[in-house]
A and B are shown apart, each in its own frame.
Chain A
Amino acid sequence: MEFLRFLRRAQWDEERAREIEAYIEQETADNLACGMNAEEARQAARRKLGNAVLIREEIYHMNSLGAVEDLWRDVRYGVRALRRSPAFTSVALLSLALGIGASTSIFSAVYGILISPYPYARSNEIWAPEVRALKTGRGAPFSFHQMRDYVELKKLPAFAETMATRPDRKLLTGDRPPENFTAVAVTANAFQFLGVAPVLGRTIQPSDVRADGQPEPVIVITYNAWQRLFDGSPGALGTKLVLDAQPFTVIGVMPPRFGWWNNDGGWIVLPEDSRDSRGVAAIVRLNKRVSPKVAEEQLQALHLRLAKERPADFPKDGFRTVLHNYMDITAVSGDMRASLRLLFGAVGFLLLIACANVANLQLARGTARAHEIAVRMSIGADRGRVFRQFLTESVTLSVAGGVLGVLFAFAITKTIVAMMPESYVPNESRIELNVYVLLFSAAVSMITGIVFGLAPALQCSRPSLVDGLKDGGRSVAGGGPAGRTRQTLVIAEIALSVVLLMGAGLTVRGFLEMQKLDAGFRTDRVLMLTLQMPVKRYSNETQRVAFAKRVLAAIGELPGVRSAAIGNGGFPFGGAQSGYAIEGQPNDAPGTLLLSLISADYPQTLGIGLRTGRQLTEQDIDHAEPVALINDAARKLWPAGVDPIGARVRLDLLVRANATPVALGRAYPSVTVVGIIADTRNAGLRNPPAPAAYLPYTLVPVPNRTLAIRTQGDPAALLHAVRERLRAIDREQPLDRPITLEEVLGMEAVQPRFNMALFGLFGALGLAMAAVGIYSVLSYIVAQRTHEIGIRMALGAGGRDVLRLIFSMGGRLVMIGLGIGLALTILLARLLRSEVFQVPETDVLALAGVVLLLCCAAFLACFVPARRAARLDPMSALRHE
């Protein structure tokens, strides 16, 4: 009933207005009849009636639900007021949106990658052991434990739980197109250790190891494999996957986020065989009340014992054992971690700055409206009413800003996820918009907006109206502690944005540098391809070599192919690392050599120049001669003046190669250097070349061979022909997509590009915020000093003088901020450079760019309030009070 009346209140109002009108006409007519003239008659009628407007208002109020009515009016008034000052509104909205959006999305990324990357049970209690050489401090490869060591390790009293993993790839055949399938072997207790439930079926259980120690042929598959191979059908359970000619029964499917060592293959059973000498990676949980230090000691004792038995497997000159908490050894590389942390700090500031900006803007606006408030109150608005009106306006603004901020947070998070280089974050980490943080940032910035929006209302709704009416512009501008705080905030903003911008400049430079970098080989028109040679079908080295040669010959014949070569390892990056000893040289600096297994055409195919000596010949390859090429970096391992050619180098890897399942006819522990070739960026584009040796591929039997094919035209055009040839020779070769060398190099650039984009984005945000800050503080000052400016103009100051006055105030802030920012950058430069950027020194170009950009932004920010001041009409400015 009440509500109905509320809805019909306008109609009622009209009705009453007509009624009152009718009354007046009636009265007037009566008065006329009494002999008054027209004017008198109407006035007398009005007098008799009283204040028609008041009556209508009274009735209107009777019909209305007071609070709703006022709220609605205030909101409308607020929106109108906000629209009247578009500069203020857009700047405040932008501040809120950027502050909320940026801080939330970056925190979401940090949370997903650094804080909570794993879905595993108690993942912060998982430890992984590492053996570190005392001299170099370098760690041994992750799988330095052999299965038989793991069996011993498991017995150590410090550990409550242990598990071992052995990554492996198998050839998936059967009735499907052959493909390389990642089948990670895990000990039977692994899934209990990790504590993640399957989405379908069951996980591997201890009962999956038979009484005789043999594993059951069962496989738990990843969510991706389930989708890819079975279209996500529950019928997948119980079907068989043929891996390396052995059928495995699918027993379970893991959730998408479970990515233990792989996220597109599966997990099979790894039996704990005390005679198994192949590598595994062990992780442990400690017993209660056992410190990591005690556990390290126990492990070290075990390692010392093992090192006595098998010295070749451990660093030569002593080592120590370290336990790493699993949260610290995420796949997040140092680069990514450092840049995320840096960004995290930066966005924290960004949120603060956003709040400060909004506060400043609201204060400036409130001051400018002090007069309005006083007028409203003197014509009858009560304190509560004014307070409510300001509250509504602030809330309207803050809510709009908050909504924009949330949208913005979604957009930035999406962008970050899209740009995030996959290989730099753990399989398991998921970046999702963190709702709590979103709520937090939204609440903080909105509350700031509201509180500071109310401040002027509180200030002005004091009882003495006369003061309020008079007070327009008397306070001393920018003075007092509050003014100083505001200016300090702005200076901090400017300094921060300088640091961010310098960072952005450095990342851009770093990225461009990398694009120009000479990889040491010709990267264009090279196709890469992997040959699979399962032990079952290629059981001896002769078969393997014959297969590789047939493939090389068949592909070499293809029209459009310049040359084809084998280049295992070091192609183009990484490769097997091996300890070495140069015969006749003191072995004082133990290090490793990168080993590449190549065919004779390799240097030619990749365009690597020969420095001295000779190339490997077909003869060397065919007879698996123990000869080697080394690169320039390796040449430096010999003292100056000593010619490495003809020297013999003992390689640990060759000693160990005997243990591989494919037996070699002969085994050589040493090779003779026959030639030196140019350096390539074999340790990644951003790192200096590592010393490397190139051996005939026939020397070491490995289960697959990497092929490099140089083409005359576009390598992509040859993809199909190459595959066909391969299939003609071996029907079971997997059809992995061959990749071009340029694509591989492109992946190297993903991380720098990510850094560049993020820092660029945040540099721009910081700049925008700083500009907003300058704008808000100057606006505030101009609003406060309107009266003073009026006096100056009345005394003869021109618009230009006023402009100069405001610009000099803004300029002072900018200069101080710029100075502090540059000083900070120089202080931080070392940290930034070593952790995030590979730029040799702070470059002048970036510096000049930053200064220019900042000055432009600052100019714009000063210009708006300065122009407002300059355009003041001195008369109205004086009357401002």
Chain B
Amino acid sequence: MEHGSLYPALHRLESRGWVASFWGTSENNRKARYYRLTVLGRKQLKEHTSSWDRLVHAVNRVLRPAEK
């Protein structure tokens, strides 16, 4: 996967207000743009993670019973 495809995704997250970005200096003294989760973003993450967990859980329950 090309790293560049990350940027549109980041841009979308930022425009929804889920991440905030700022210019900073990297460890080797270069200018870099940093992204950080916002409060809203954290909430979204939690929601999506939990829904992901539920999905995984559900899928697992469909796949695993035979193994038990």
User: When the two chains form the complex, which single residue of A22, A48, A49, A62 contacts B33, counting CB atoms closer than 8 Å?
Assistant: A22
Q: If A20-B4, A49-B3 touch, does A25 touch B11 (CB 8 Å cutoff)?
A: no
Decide if B11 touches A62 in the complex (CB within 8 Å): yes
B32 touches A26 (CB 8 A): yes
Asked if A59 is at the interface of the complex by the 8 Å CB criterion, the answer is yes
- Closest A residue to B8 by beta carbon equals A58
Contact B5 A55 (CB under 8 A): yes
Most buried by A among B7, B30, B31, B33: B7
A791 interface residue per 8 A CB criterion: no
In the complex the two chains form, what is the Cα distance from A5 to B11 in whole Å? 12
- What separation, in Å, do the CA atoms of A54 and B3 have in the docked complex? 13
Contacts of A55 in B (CB 8 A): 4-5, 7-8
The answer to whether B28 and A49 touch across the interface, beta carbons within 8 angstroms, is no
Q: A26-B32, A29-B30 given as contacts; is B15 within 8 A of A5 (CB)?
A: yes
Known interface pairs A16-B11, A59-B11, A62-B11; A26-B4 also in contact (CB < 8 Å):
no
Size bracket of the B interface: 10 to 19
From B5, B8, B12, B26, residue with most partner A Cβ within 10 Å:
B8
B47 to chain A, nearest CB (A): 21
Report A838 CB to chain B, min CB distance, Å.
79
B1-33, CB under 8 A of A: which get 1 and which 0?
A: 011110110011001000000000010101111
Interface hits, A801-829 → B, CB 8 Å: none
Let me know if A22 and B4 touch, CB within 8 A.
no
Chain A residues, CB < 8 A from B5: 50, 55
Residues facing B in A401-419 (CB within 8 A) are none
Question: Once the chains are docked, how many angstroms separate the CA of A835 from the CA of B32?
Answer: 88
Q: Is the CB of A49 within 8 A of B2?
A: yes
**Chain B neighbourhood of A52, CB < 8 A:** 4
Q: B23: shortest Cβ distance to chain A, in Å?
A: 8
Nearest B residue to A47, CB-CB: B2
Given A19-B7, A59-B8, A59-B11, the answer on whether A26 and B2 have CB atoms closer than 8 Å is: no
Task: Provide the bound-state CA to CA distance between A285 and B30, in Å.
Answer: 99
Residue A23 at the B interface, CB < 8 A? Answer: yes
Interchain CA distance A253-B12 in the complex, whole Å = 73
- Contact A59 B7, beta carbon cutoff 8 Å: yes
**Roughly how many angstroms separate A26 CA and B4 CA in the complex, as a whole number?**
13
- Which residues of chain B have C-beta atoms less than 8 A from A50's C-beta? 2-5
How far, in Å, is A510 (CB) from chain B's closest CB?
Answer: 76
Interface size class on chain A is 20 to 34
* Chain A residue with Cβ nearest B33: A19
- A51 part of interface (Cβ distance < 8 Å): yes
Question: In the docked arrangement, what's the CA distance between A494 and B36, Å?
Answer: 75
In the complex with contacts A5-B15, A62-B15, A22-B32 CB distance below 8 A: yes
A841–B11 Cα distance when bound, in Å, is 83
A669 to chain B, nearest CB (A): 107
CA distance A860 to B20 in the complex (A): 66
Complex alpha-carbon distance, A16 and B8, angstroms: 9
- Docked Cα-Cα span, A197 to B3, in Å, equals 83
Smallest CB gap from A27: residue in B:
B3
Chain B residues in 8 Å Cβ range of A19: 7, 33
Contact with B along A5-25 (1 / 0, CB 8 A): 100000010001001101101
Q: For residue A59, which residues in chain B have a CB less than 8 angstroms away from its CB?
A: 7-8, 11
Determine if B7 and A48 form an interchain contact, defined as CB atoms under 8 angstroms apart: no
Residues of B within 8 A of A26 (CB): 26, 30, 32
Give the docked Cα–Cα distance between A58 and B8 (Å).
7
Contacting residues, chain A, for B2 (C-beta < 8 A) = 47-50
Minimum CB–CB distance for B9 against chain A, Å: 10
The docked-state distance in angstroms from the alpha carbon of A62 to that of B33 is 20
Chain A neighbourhood of B30, CB < 8 A: 22, 25-26, 29
- Given contact pairs A16-B7, A62-B8, a sample of 5 additional A-B residue pairs in the complex whose CB atoms are under 8 Å apart: A12-B11, A22-B31, A48-B3, A50-B2, A50-B3
Which 4 residue pairs of A and B lie closest in terms of their CB atoms, listed nearest first?
A: A50-B2, A50-B4, A49-B4, A58-B8
A and B contact pairs by CB, cutoff 8 A, 21 listed: A19-B33, A22-B30, A22-B32, A26-B26, A26-B32, A29-B28, A47-B2, A48-B3, A49-B2, A49-B3, A49-B4, A50-B2, A52-B4, A54-B4, A55-B4, A55-B7, A58-B8, A59-B7, A62-B8, A62-B11, A62-B15
Which residues of B are interface residues toward A (Cβ below 8 A)? 2-5, 7-8, 11-12, 15, 26, 28, 30-33
Which A residues form the contact surface with B (CB < 8 A)?
5, 12, 16, 19-20, 22-23, 25-26, 29, 47-52, 54-55, 58-59, 62-63
